[in-house]
Amino acid sequence: MDFNEFSFRVRYGETDQMGVVYHGNYAQYLEMGRVEWLRSMGISYKKMEENGIMLPVISLNILFKKSAVYDDLLTVTTYIRKRPMVRIEFDYEIRNEAKELLIEANTVLAFMDMKSNKPIKCPDYILDKLDI
């Protein structure tokens, strides 16, 4: 199973007046997880786009367990459990500093050719780096 972890602090602007993280911000946290997962494998999302490949989200599911609050140190763990083809699927957990599970999530993205706007196979340079 390939996974990556990274941590960051919740910023004030990501919360409501009660200091609770607005639910829409979790999608951005998941995106940060995906980008850091790619970076940990030596793959730049920016270079992938420069090479004409984009990865739009086609499915997003989040199961909220507990709220994150202002100044929490959050850890996003991003997993990939199956070999990508045209689609790549990520699972996530976000935990606070006390290791409490805040959310479980899943996203599915499709590899797309930016010129033709058509789905394509996962690039070999990604497949070659996977242990699954």
Residue 87, C-beta contacts closer than 8 angstroms, at least 6 positions apart? 58, 108, 109, 110, 111
- pLDDT, tens digit, for every residue of 63-118? 999 999 999 999 999 999 899 999 999 999 999 999 999 999 999 999 999 999 99
Q: CATH class for domain 3-128?
A: alpha beta
Q: CA–CA separation, 74 vs 82, rounded Å?
A: 25
pTM of the full predicted structure? Answer: 0.93
Assigned token pair, 6: 């990274």
Assigned token pair, 124: 């070999």
| Residues recognised as catalytic | 16
